[in-house]
Amino acid sequence: MPGFELFGTEEQKEVQDVLDSGVLMRYGFDPMRNGHHKALELEKDLADKMGTKYAQVVSSGTAALTVALACAGIGSGDEVIMPTFTFVASFEAILSVGAIPILCDIDDTLTLDPKAIEACITENTKAIMPVHMCGSMADLKALKSICEAHNLILIEDACQAIGATYDSKPLGSYGDLGCFSFDYVKTVTCGEGGGIITNSEIYADRAHKYQDHGHDHIGNDRGAETHPFLGYNYRLSELNAAVGIAQLRKLDNVLSIQEKNYTILRNALTAIPEVTFRRVPETGVESYAFLNIFLPTEDLSRKTHKALGAHGIDACFYWFDNNWHYYKKWEHLLEQKSLGKLSKEIQTGLQKNNKTFHNSDIWMGRTISCLIKLNWTEKEVEERASKMKEAIQSIL
């Protein structure tokens, strides 16, 4: 999965362009650039690749979510429904704009359960934010229907699933706004970076201003630009963008490699009756970044995870005990541990999350996710498949 596995001369060339010009900042210094505007180029490439009218690159996936939320007009006291299984950045971004993250159960897609969402909707709900974890997606058709029925905004967190599609559309392009992470361990990496895509001219216009202190970017004199509204600094540097340009060009090849390696492993495990697989919604095609399996019980899943490690199988994750990705270890959120004083609205709103999520626990307790790497040889994948099968059968 990590794009850094394929770093080569392509990335070096793009970075050298920036170093040769000496302009590492996205804006200004046009006479020195030698025609290179890497962040702008990456935005054009990203929009084209994702089939959207607009794209905005920013400094991280967290920044992408933050800017998307702000551009959607989400702020103080608003509620955003998000899943119990994601990365902490999802709720950090919501909190950063003054809104309240409302946790909701997942189902066998390992993403938001549409059936659980209705109970989470209140008069303060403004958006639903599915997180397409581990290379696959939520049931976006069902979520979109809910959004339309309740006049809500659909924001896709596709940070872990770039390249996957739903209803023949790239993930991120189905909702009102879509977000990506380009951090070091993502399928497309800038080292650090993120991206937002949308077909809304209004959201796109807000995004380019908000991520750069509210600058309107009119004219050639940066010092003379005005500020239509408050913004913050979420810009992406030219160096990071340069890496992303080369990486994005490799996406189709990366997806092909991931699918090949994924298929070998899945075919081997299909022979074990007790092993089942994550459900991919109808019309969905995952990015094959992870192979996600279910064991019959939590106890067997724990033992299997340990057995995989004992058989030399690395990069397999038991998320149920993970500090970063599952709600059970988000005590800093649930206990409201903040350096600064949280608003009364947030303090009160977060109390809604002080409950158990039984259905999520059932699925996560049985889940093991195995990262699909790009630099495995075919022989290594075959050997890995054999060891995985052996490890699982040793428990069952």
- Coil, helix or strand for 114? helix
Q: Is 337 marked active-site? A: no
DSSP bridge pairs for 85 = 326
Question: For residue 193, what are its two tokens?
Answer: 């970076």
Q: Which of 144, 186, 209, 373 is catalytic?
A: 186
Q: Can you tell me which residue has the tokens 């908000």?
A: 210
Q: List C-alpha distances in Å: 21 to 34, 221, 242, 339.
A: 6, 20, 13, 41
Neighbouring C-alpha atoms within 13 Å toward the C-beta of 343: 13
DSSP bridge pairs for 233 = 212
Determine how many CB atoms are found less than 10 A away from the CB of residue 120.
17
CA dihedral (135, 171, 154, 62) in degrees, to 10, reads 60
Q: Which residues of 47-70 are buried (b: 16+ CB within 10 A; e: fewer)?
A: bebbebebbbbbbbbbbbbbbbbb
Q: List C-alpha distances in Å: 123 to 77, 89, 127, 128.
A: 11, 25, 11, 13
280: CB partners within 8 A, 6+ apart: 109, 136, 137, 286
Question: Are the beta carbons of 199 and 170 closer than 8 angstroms?
Answer: no
Where are the extended beta strands (E) located within the chain? Answer: 54-58, 79-83, 100-104, 125-128, 153-157, 165-166, 169-170, 177-181, 194-198, 276-277, 284-285, 290-294, 316-317, 367-371
What is the Cα–Cα distance from 292 to 367, expressed in whole angstroms?
7
Q: Which of 102, 160, 107, 166 is nearest to 131 (CA)?
A: 160
DSSP classification of residue 371? E
Axis crossing angle, helix 238-249 with helix 251-269, rounded to the nearest 10: 60
- Residues tagged active-site: 186
